[in-house]
Structure 1
């Protein structure tokens, strides 16, 4: 089963527009817009730090295994190599690996991974090559090519850091060969040319790998956004734009959960008066227009991100008001009723000049193990029928005269 898409799986402030624009741009410099770059780092940073730490341990093991060729090819410097590799480089490398595991900022993380490989790996091997006197010690310069592969293919250091690391390795290689008197100039040129090709190929591989990683992130994010949009649409009534019965069932289930016990909840049932006659007289198309207008008024009168409106079926709507007592819920309902009446939507089935009105039933209670949301809905339904029996175009129970919550309170958590 596909994992449900929630706001937690989509970075804040990121929408489809910025994702599509970035994909189309191709991000040739391997940089996203600032918000998207920050989201990318938040998503991959911790895992990447762990991968770099694991790769560092693997590289350290291989690095110390080179004690075997040190012993075979350059026995005169073996004791120095043993002391250098195990006594100095290994402890420092372990500190760098520990720092990487702690998920440092991206600049620190990539610098440590790149500089650690260059300074500790390439630098120590170059040093051992320069101090040796064995006839085969100069072959150690080839080890620096392995450092390139480790940086770009194993650790996959970010491209611009990899470029700097590869160029530093090339400079170290060229300087090292120049300091070996036994190497003629022609051989140095040939060896440096081969090494330069290795640098170019490594940099190219680094670019391709990072671009693929970034593109995979964008495609994943695009898919999540698309699934979220589909998920939202599946919970929305296509005619009115309000949330539908499926969404209502989920909200009710959430309100009935133990963590919601003790929360005061108000339910409002709203029914358009004489709507069947409206449809029979003006037709369903006009009836749909009426439903849309009423739904828009309801939504505009609710508090942002606190209350929710649902199409309950036909011309009936249900409002869920959180942290609201009965008196406040009645006043909010009266404000909505007046707003719909003041909209003066003509009712073709009634006398000339009559407008569309609504009847509303309100109930409120503190959710508990004994009082579930269904009980509050039943109470609101009974209140709605009372409003209809008493002449329609009213709220039941009735609010005190002129006691209506002002529209400016829509964004407040009313108590």
Structure 2
């Protein structure tokens, strides 16, 4: 019933299927389908999935199935009313009882019973409500036929065929099977009670009913099998798409992240800087760039080795993170021992204060730096530049000014912040902090 080609995607030496909670191998897949697989097909008595997957299937199909059950209930009520006319011809002595049972009682049960089941019954019982309605129709037909004195009482049993065919066309396989068995038993019991078992019409009607049950049950089984197969394939496709999206997001995150410090890399920083610049031009808001350089880092590497140097860069990045504004700043590894920060909607003084917090945070790590000529611990120099851009402004000028400020901080003894407004129309303001 469930060929492996439909249910699993193949990887070398293994079959897997992704179904929401992770990937399953072929043995787990067999368990998920709720029954043993024989020669690549499932036994029809185990048509359901394993409990967790079956609950998901029922939940996903609930709205569609409810729509079908509503339609079937309404059509069943109309069909019962229409059968009153047929019984008026075949069973005239039972007309008033037929009118009460088929024209009033059964339609009311169909309409209001369906509403009650929809409101109070669990989802699983909705499927059995169809079989219950069909069984009520069968019992009414049997009662009318057995109570009538008409010569056409036996022929009226053909209505059972129509009832079963109507219900089986909508119901799931197991409820349809239960109704079919009950209908066949009732049909045989009615013929026996009429003492018409040897009658050719009784024999032919029994054969007709049995043939109809066989074909309709097979159709119900195939329809449910195909529905479950289509649902499973759709879920696999959804889960695969989710896995691909997660993999794509992970790859995109890797492409944007520096593997050593877990900060944004230079490429991602350039993209963000371009977006922030364009937004600042449109809003006429000031933005700032900070360039941070670890003082005498080459000497630290030469003395302690590259692993210690890598650990130092990770520690500097960790010390810088708390100094950023939440949501407004982007920090990146600019290259080597240099870091960069872009701050939107900020003034030169505010950016300088952030640079000062960074400088103090790195110094407070108290990481020994015996090879430094500017202090006994690891320190940083910070260049800060700010600008309120317009159509005549240049992002290159902002970066160039920040780089010049960083050079100035390093040339004045390092372990300090140097800031300058990059606006060409403003005075050249230099601010330092030891």
Name the TM tier (shorter chain).
0.5 to 0.7
Q: Which residue of structure 2 aligns with residue 237 of structure 1?
A: 258
Q: For residue 291 of structure 1, report the CA deviation from its aligned partner.
A: 1.4
Instruction: Identify which of 42, 53, 64 aligns with 1:28.
Output: 53
The alpha-carbon deviation at position 30 of structure 1 amounts to: 3.6
| 1:70-120 per-position Cα deviation (integer Å, ceiling 9, x unaligned) | xxxxxxxxxxxxxxxxxxxxxxxxxxxxxxxxxxxx97x547623443234
Q: Shift in Å at residue 208 of structure 1?
A: 3.6
What secondary structure, in the 3-state scheme, does the structure 1 residue paired with 2:54 have?
coil
Distance 1:19 1:290 in 2: 44
Are the structure 2 counterparts of residues 304 and 165 from structure 1 closer, same or farther at C-alpha, using a change threshold of 3 Å? same
For residues 276-315 of structure 1, the aligned pairs below 5 Å read 276-315=298-337
Aligned counterparts, 1:251-262, within 5 A? 251-257=272-278, 261-262=282-283
The 5 A counterparts of 1:68-217 are 109-110=63-64, 113-125=67-79, 127-129=81-83, 131-132=85-86, 166-180=127-141, 181=145, 182-183=156-157, 185-186=187-188, 187=206, 190=210, 195=216, 198-217=219-238
Alignment counterpart, residue 239 of structure 2, candidates 189, 200, 218: 218
More strand by share: 2
- Partner Cα distance (1:210, 1:310) in 2: 45
Contact 2:288 2:386 in 1 (8 A): yes
How far apart are 1:332 and its partner, in Å? 1.0
Structure 2 CA distance, aligned partners of 1:259 and 1:130? 79
Q: Which runs of 5+ in 1 are unaligned?
A: 1-17, 42-105, 136-159, 403-415
1:348 aligned residue:
370
Q: Matches of 2:125 and 2:215 in 1, distance apart?
A: 18
Residue 274 (structure 1) aligns with:
296
The 3-state SS of whatever aligns with 1:320 is strand
Aligned with 1:303: secondary structure? coil
The answer to whether the Cα contact below 8 Å between 1:240 and 1:295 also exists between their aligned partners in 2 is yes
**Bigger CA radius of gyration:** 2
Summarize the Cα distance change of 1:120–1:256 in structure 2 as closer, same or farther, 3 Å threshold.
farther
Which of 334, 338, 347 lines up with 1:316 in the alignment? 338
Cα 1:230–1:348, aligned 2, differ >3 Å: closer, same or farther? same
Against the structure 1 CA distance between its residues 395 and 258, is the aligned structure 2 distance closer, same or farther, given a 3 Å change threshold? closer
Is the 1:281–1:349 contact (alpha carbons within 8 Å) kept by the matching residues of 2? Answer: yes
SS at match of 1:21: coil
2:222 maps to 1:248? no
Q: After alignment, is 193-202 or 266-275 more displaced? A: 193-202
Distance in 2 (CA, whole Å) between partners of 1:19 and 1:196 is 29
TM-score (norm 2): 0.57
CA distance in 2, matches of 1:283, 1:170: 79
The TM-score normalised by the length of structure 1 is 0.59
Quickly say closer, same or farther: Cα 1:166–1:21, change in 2 above 3 A.
Answer: closer
In structure 2, distance between residues paired with 1:373 and 1:349: 36
SS of residue paired to 2:391: coil
| Corresponding residue SS for 2:312 | helix
Match for residue 196 of structure 2?
none
Instruction: Tell me, yes or no, if the aligned pair for 1:267 and 1:364 is still in contact at 8 Å.
Output: yes
Contact in 2 for aligned 1:310/1:319 (Cα 8 Å): yes
| Residue 276 of structure 1, CA deviation | 1.9
Q: CA deviation at 1:201?
A: 4.7
Distance 1:321 1:259, change over 3 A: closer
Query: 1:51 maps to which residue?
Result: none
Distance 1:225 1:172, change over 3 A: same
> Conserved in 2, the CA contact under 8 Å of 1:254 and 1:260?
no
Shift of 1:247: 0.4
Is the 8 Å Cα contact of residues 293 and 337 (structure 2) preserved in structure 1?
yes
Q: How far off its partner does 1:283 sit?
A: 2.5
